[in-house]
């Protein structure tokens, strides 16, 4: 296996999708993106759900409008309506409006990350708003009509308490009409070399390093590791290695400190994988 050079800035986004599983997923989202169906992306933390949501948005007819991500886990108790639907208050100069994420994304896409942490009642209200295509701001007196694509991101395992709550259960309150399962990085190891090349390119573009690529030994170490933090953790490891290496080639010694004391319990057959790069 020869040394892996970095990808070019133009090809990096597509490089991240290389591999059999990701190729299948990309084919699916290419078909879904041109429709206007809402999407549900399920995957472990760090697998790249928001990245995939951005790809769907970029490939859709809404690409020239806003993509608004909302981390549902950051919404304080009792603040859901203000964040999503916005507020409207009466003042001396008239009514003051503060748009929520739906109004801010009209014509575009909203990505609801960690959607499952919301109370079931909030799920239902959001689903109703999308079904009717209108909502009312907190304190508002008129309905606001909107046209927004919804993409929901769910980590696995999903909180089963939601599955058991309410008539109709999970299927009655989900936003996504089309489901996409994003596998963890340990199940798509063939993507790792392409991801590594893309992350090195990003490091070089930032001006923090001038890395030519990664050696076969270092790449093998990255490929054999299970990456419990998935793509996010791999990115962090490569950024750390690039910071230490600074220029030239990232070697095993640059990657090893990050993986110190971690298990490399990998099937023997995997060590025989050749990437042909």
What CATH code is carried by the domain that includes residue 154?
3.40.50.300
Provide the number of structural domains found in the chain.
2
Last residue within a domain, chosen from 149, 165, 184: 184
pLDDT reported for residue 135: 95
Give the range among 79-93, 113-127, 148-162, 247-261 with minimum mean pLDDT: 148-162
Q: Work out the angle between the directed axes of helices 216-224 and 192-205 (0-180°, nearest 10).
A: 120
Residue 258 lies in a domain: yes
3-state class of 275 per DSSP? coil
**Cβ-contact 38, 152 below 8 angstroms:** yes
- Evaluated on CA atoms 162, 165, 166, 168, the torsion sign reads positive
Last residue within a domain, chosen from 184, 204, 225: 184
pLDDT digits (tens, 9 = 90+) for 138-188: 999 899 999 999 999 988 655 444 444 443 344 444 677 888 999 999 998
pLDDT digits (tens, 9 = 90+) for 222-252: 998 989 899 999 999 999 999 999 999 999 8
126 has pLDDT over 80: yes
Residue 277 lies in a domain: no
Average pLDDT over residues 199-209: 89
Domain range for 262 is: 4-15+188-272
53 has pLDDT over 80: yes
Q: Could you tell me which residues are beta bridge partners of residue 33?
A: none
CATH number for the domain spanning 222: value is 1.10.8.60
Rg (CA), the chain: 22
* Closest among 80, 74, 78, 33 to 180, alpha carbons compared: 33
H-helix or E-strand containing 270?
none
The pTM score is: 0.78
Bond into 157 cis (ω within 30): yes
């Amino acid at each position: 296996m020869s040394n892996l050079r970095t990808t070019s800035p133009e090809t990096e986004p597509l490089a991240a999708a290389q591999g059999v599983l990701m190729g299948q997923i990309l084919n699916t989202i290419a078909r879904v993106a041109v429709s206007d169906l809402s999407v549900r992306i399920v995957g472990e933390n760090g697998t790249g759900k928001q990245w995939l949501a951005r790809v769907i948005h970029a490939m859709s007819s809404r690409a020239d409008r806003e993509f608004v991500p909302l981390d549902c886990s950051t919404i304080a108790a009792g603040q859901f309506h203000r964040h999503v639907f916005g507020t409207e208050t009466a003042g001396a100069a008239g009514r003051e409006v503060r748009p929520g994420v739906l109004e801010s994304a009209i014509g575009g896409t909203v990505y609801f990350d960690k959607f499952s942490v919301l109370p079931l009642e909030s799920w239902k209200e959001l689903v109703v708003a999308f079904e009717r295509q209108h909502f009312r701001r907190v304190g508002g007196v008129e309905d606001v009509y909107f046209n927004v694509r919804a993409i929901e991101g769910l980590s696995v395992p999903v909180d089963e308490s939601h599955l058991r709550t309410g008539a109709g259960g999970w299927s009655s309150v989900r936003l996504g009409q089309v489901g996409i399962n994003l596998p963890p990085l340990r199940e798509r190891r063939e993507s790792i070399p392409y991801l590594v090349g893309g992350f090195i390119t990003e490091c070089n573009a930032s001006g923090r390093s001038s890395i030519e690529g990664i050696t076969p030994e270092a790449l093998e170490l990255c490929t054999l590791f299970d990456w419990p933090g998935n793509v996010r953790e791999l990115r962090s490891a490569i950024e750390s290695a690039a910071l230490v290496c600074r220029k030239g080639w990232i070697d095993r010694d640059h990657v090893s400190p990050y993986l110190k004391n971690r298990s490399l319990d990998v099937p023997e057959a995997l060590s025989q994988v050749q990437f042909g790069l």
